[in-house]
Structure formats: structure tokens, C-alpha cells
Amino acid sequence: MHWIRGVAREVVGLFVDDGSFAGAIVAWLLFCIMALPHIAAAAHWAGLVLFAGLTLILIESVLRFARKRL
């Protein structure tokens, strides 16, 4: 049974390198799906808000990775 867990980890590792990065993206997408449609002013800005959030998540992940490497 341990080999099944190992195989599953390897398969997930092919697609997810940083779990916190993937989790932050999923959380941001869920926020945008759930909250933005209910905010009237966000209708025109939804794409920009989505892009800005994903960009900030990417920048944070890159900086965190760079600090680990130094």
C-alpha cells in the first residue's frame, strides 16, 4: 500500500511543484468566482482584479523561492 501513496505523490508532483502557490491560486479563483459578481462596481474591473491578484501571488511565490535559494 505504501507504493500507491508514493505513486500518487509522484503524479501530483508532476503538476504541483509548490502546494502553497497552487492553494493560493485556487483560493483567489474561488474568491473571484464567489465575491466579484456580487460587487456591482467590480463588474467592469473583474478581469483586472483577477489578473492583479494572480500577479501578486506569482511575485510572492518567486520572492519566497528566491529567499530559500540564498
The whole-number pLDDT of residue 57 equals 96
DSSP class per residue in 25-39: HHHHHHHHHHTGGG-
Mean of the per-residue pLDDT values of the chain: 86
Instruction: State pTM to two decimals.
Output: 0.75
Strands (E), the chain: none
Delimit the domains of the chain by residue range: 17-69
Residue pLDDT, tens place only, 35-65: 887 776 667 788 888 999 999 999 999 999 8
Check: CB of residue 27 under 8 Å from CB of residue 57.
no
